[in-house]
Amino acid sequence: MPNEACSKLGIPARLHRENRPPDPDFDEDEKLYRRFPGHLDDANLKEAISFDVGESYNRSKYSTSPADVLLDGKDGKHFEG
């Protein structure tokens, strides 16, 4: 069943787990996409690279492009770059 709020924002159902069971199987060539704030530089990028609970990540297995991670779940707009 699609998420009504996300559907209204134009966020594709494929980007949400919904009732799909957890998928612990990663393909050898699968990628994990994550959005980072644009102000990061080499000096503080290392601090930002962590897997904090509650953050959103997109798996290439369910995304059509890395740009999927640029969708804002609050208003459905795309973040720049």
Tens of pLDDT along 10-65? 788 777 777 788 889 999 999 988 877 666 677 666 666 665 655 567 889 888 88
Residue 15: per-residue pLDDT: 79
pLDDT of residue 25: 93
Strand partners, 59: 32
Please check whether residue 26 lies inside any domain of the structure: yes
Other residues' Cβ atoms within 10 Å of the Cβ of residue 68: 19
Hey, which residues does 4 pair with through a beta bridge? none
Q: How many domains does the chain have?
A: 1
Annotate 6-65 with three-state secondary structure: HHHHCCCHHHCCCCCCCCCCCCCCCCEECCCCCCCCHHHHHHHCCCCCCCCCEECCCCCC
Q: Is residue 77 part of a domain?
A: no
Residue 75 lies inside a defined structural domain of this protein: no
| Residue 76 falls in which region: left (phi positive, over 0), alpha (psi -120 to 50) or beta | left
Q: Is 78 part of any domain?
A: no
- What is the residue range of 13's domain? 4-70
63 found inside a domain: yes
